Amino acid sequence: MKISVFEPEIGDKELAGVIDCVKTGWISGYSGKYISEFEERFSAYCGCKYGVTTSNCATALLLTLESLGIGKGDEVITSTFTMIATVNAIIKAGATPVLVDSEPDTCNMDSSLVEDKVNKRTKAILPVHIYGHPCDMSPIINIALEYDLDVIEDAAEAHGAEYRGRRTGGLGTAGCFSFYINKIITTGEGGMITTNSRELAERAILLKSYATVPKRRFLHEHIGFNYRMTNMQAAIGVGQLERIDYFIERKRLIAQWYNEQLCGVDGLILPKEMPWAKNVYWVYGIRVTSDFGISRDELRARLGDKGIETRTYFVPMHLQPCFHKIGLFKKDKHPVSEMLSGEGLYLPNSTTLTARQIKFICDTIKKTRSK
Ligand SMILES: *Cc1c(COP(=O)(O)O)cnc(C)c1O
Q: What is the pLDDT of residues 158-181, one digit of tens each?
A: 999 999 999 999 999 999 999 999
Most ligand 1 atoms within 8 A of CB, residue of 57, 61, 152, 283 to mutate: 57
In the chain, alpha helices (H):
12-24, 33-45, 57-67, 85-92, 137-147, 198-207, 231-241, 244-262, 296-305, 321-324, 335-343, 355-370
Q: What is the mean pLDDT of residues 8-13?
A: 96
Q: What is the mean pLDDT of residues 139-168?
A: 98
Task: For residue 333, give every residue at least 6 positions away whose Cβ sits within 8 Å of its Cβ, in sequence order, or none.
Answer: 318
* Helices and strands (H and E) in the chain: how many: 12, 14
Q: How far is the CA of 218 from the centre of ligand 1 (A)?
A: 33
Model confidence at 214: pLDDT above 90: no
Full-prediction pTM beyond 0.95?
yes
| Banded pLDDT at 369 (limits 50, 70, 90) | confident
Q: How far is the CA of 24 from the centre of ligand 1 (A)?
A: 31
- The whole-angstrom separation of Cα 79 and Cα 155 is 13
| Banded pLDDT at 370 (limits 50, 70, 90) | low
Q: What is the DSSP letter of 209?
A: B
Please state the atom number of ligand 1 nearest to the C-alpha of residue 282.
15
Q: What is the mean pLDDT of residues 174-193?
A: 98
Ligand 1, atom 4: nearest CA belongs to which residue? 57
- The whole-angstrom separation of Cα 270 and Cα 258 is 9
Task: For residue 10, give every residue at least 6 positions away whose Cβ sits within 8 Å of its Cβ, in sequence order, or none.
Answer: 186, 236, 239, 240
Q: What is the DSSP letter of 49?
A: S
- The whole-angstrom separation of Cα 331 and Cα 319 is 10
Most ligand 1 atoms within 8 A of CB, residue of 177, 178, 187, 280 to mutate: 178
- The pLDDT score that the predictor gives to residue 213 is 87
Q: What is the mean pLDDT of residues 212-224?
A: 89
Ligand 1, atom 6: nearest CA belongs to which residue? 57
Q: What is the mean pLDDT of residues 118-139?
A: 98
For 23-62, write each residue's pLDDT tens digit. 999 999 999 999 999 999 999 999 999 999 999 999 999 9
Nearest Cα to Cα of residue 225 among 211, 244, 239: 211
CATH number of 12-100+107-241: 3.40.640.10
- The pLDDT score that the predictor gives to residue 215 is 86
For 266-293, write each residue's pLDDT tens digit. 999 999 999 999 999 999 999 999 999 9
CA distances from 61 to 78, 91, 98, 150, 228 (A): 12, 11, 16, 13, 13
184 close to ligand 1 (CB < 6 Angstrom)? no
Percent of the chain residues topping a pLDDT of 70:
99
User: Domain 244-370 in CATH: superfamily?
Assistant: Aspartate Aminotransferase, domain 1 (3.90.1150.10)
- The whole-angstrom separation of Cα 357 and Cα 365 is 12
Percent of the chain residues topping a pLDDT of 90:
96
Q: What is the mean pLDDT of residues 328-340?
A: 98
For 298-307, write each residue's pLDDT tens digit. 999 999 999 9
> What is the helix (H) or strand (E) element at residue 54, kind and residue range?
strand 50-54
CA distances from 64 to 10, 89, 347 (A): 29, 10, 32
Rounded to the nearest integer, the mean pLDDT of the chain is 97
- The pLDDT score that the predictor gives to residue 145 is 98
Q: What is the mean pLDDT of residues 123-134?
A: 98
Q: How far is the CA of 350 from the centre of ligand 1 (A)?
A: 18
- The pLDDT score that the predictor gives to residue 102 is 98
- The pLDDT score that the predictor gives to residue 371 is 53
| Banded pLDDT at 1 (limits 50, 70, 90) | confident
Please state the atom number of ligand 1 nearest to the C-alpha of residue 189.
7
| Banded pLDDT at 217 (limits 50, 70, 90) | confident
Model confidence at 206: pLDDT above 80: yes
Q: What is the mean pLDDT of residues 261-265?
A: 96
Q: What is the mean pLDDT of residues 217-244?
A: 96
- Which residue ranges make up each domain of the chain? 12-100+107-241, 244-370
**203 touches 197 (CB < 8 A):** no
Residues paired with residue 346 on neighbouring β-strands, in sequence order? 285, 311
> What is the helix (H) or strand (E) element at residue 286, kind and residue range?
strand 284-288
Q: Would you call 347 helix, strand, or coil by DSSP?
A: strand
- The whole-angstrom separation of Cα 305 and Cα 308 is 7
- The whole-angstrom separation of Cα 217 and Cα 204 is 18
For 79-90, write each residue's pLDDT tens digit. 999 999 999 999
- The whole-angstrom separation of Cα 224 and Cα 113 is 35
